[in-house]
Amino acid sequence: HSRRILSSKVELGQSTMMNADMDAVEAENQVELEEKTRLINQVLELQHTLEDLSARVDAVKEENLKLKSENQVLGQYIENLMSASSVFQTTDTKSKRK
């Protein structure tokens, strides 16, 4: 009878240890799941940030092309004004000295 009681106590102790081990594994799995969830959310946030930055780069490129075009038009306009104005005409210094 005492062997049976001793055996039951050993089994109970082993069962308690197994439950504790299972609880530890479950807690570890929960921590891993939370970490994975946090990382997934971080990746998604970074993807949205990248999309926003890409859209901003595209908008800046488009604005840059527009400004380059406007600068070319203004440059040509200024060049035309300068060539039409007598103030900016080159003078032939040899002919004036003669």
Predicted pLDDT at 13: 58
Task: Find, among 80, 96, 77, the residue nearest to 88 by Cα.
Answer: 80
- Distance CA(22)–CA(54), nearest Å, equals 47
Please give the pLDDT value at position 56: 98
- List per-residue pLDDT tens for the chain, 98 residues long: 544 554 555 555 566 666 777 788 888 989 999 999 999 999 999 999 999 999 999 999 999 999 999 999 999 999 999 888 877 776 655 555 54
Sequence-distant contacts of 28-37: CB under 8 A, at least 24 apart: none
- Assigned token pair, 8: 């039951």
Question: What pLDDT shows up at residue 77?
Answer: 95
The pLDDT value given to residue 98:
46
